[in-house]
Amino acid sequence: MAAVTGERAADLLTKAGVMSWAFDAFVKGRWTVESTTPGKSTLKGTVTVMADGGGNGGFTLVWAREGAPITWSGGYLLRGGHLRIDMHQAPTGMEQLTGGEALTVPKEVEEGASLVLPWQPPGHRDTGDGQRLNVTYRNNVLRIVHTERNGSESVHVCTRAT
């Protein structure tokens, strides 16, 4: 492994740099995903997350379905506890969602973590309507429950692929 020197080394020693490395190490890799919407419709797929080690990265999400799978791709940026998620490519006829943000994202995620993160959905200016993400991580399973303003929930279960 090559030594990190110069400006890159200085970046890594900052609080944001340390936080980004911890976050990137956590999300990087392949995950299976099962998402259930408020109407109880369930989709299954896989997501592959690429990370550069500096809080920037991309992902490809492939939903399995009869016929051709549905593929989305996007990116994320983590800065100062704000995790911004953007979809850069969506299937024809589907809306590309940009600008969703989870707030108060922690520096590190440990086994048994249980968090409540304010959620700013794509197209919203802030988190004032009370939407949130309840996040737990245990035994390689990341469970995210998105609670909307009206109390309805979408549940996303992501299992780290081995």
Over the stretch 128-137, which tens digit does the pLDDT of each residue have?
889 999 999 9
- The pTM (predicted TM-score) of the whole model is 0.81
What local confidence, expressed as pLDDT, does residue 21 receive? 61
Helices (runs of H) and strands (runs of E) counted in the chain: 2, 10
CB-based burial label for 111 (10 Å; 0-12, 13-18, 19+): exposed
Please, are residues 74 and 86 in contact by the beta-carbon 8 Å criterion? yes
What local confidence, expressed as pLDDT, does residue 160 receive? 94
Q: Within 10 Å of residue 60's Cβ, how many Cβ atoms?
A: 15
pLDDT in tens, 59-112: 999 999 888 888 999 999 998 899 999 988 877 777 767 788 999 998 777 788
| Domains recognised in the chain with CATH numbers | 6-160 (2.40.128.120)
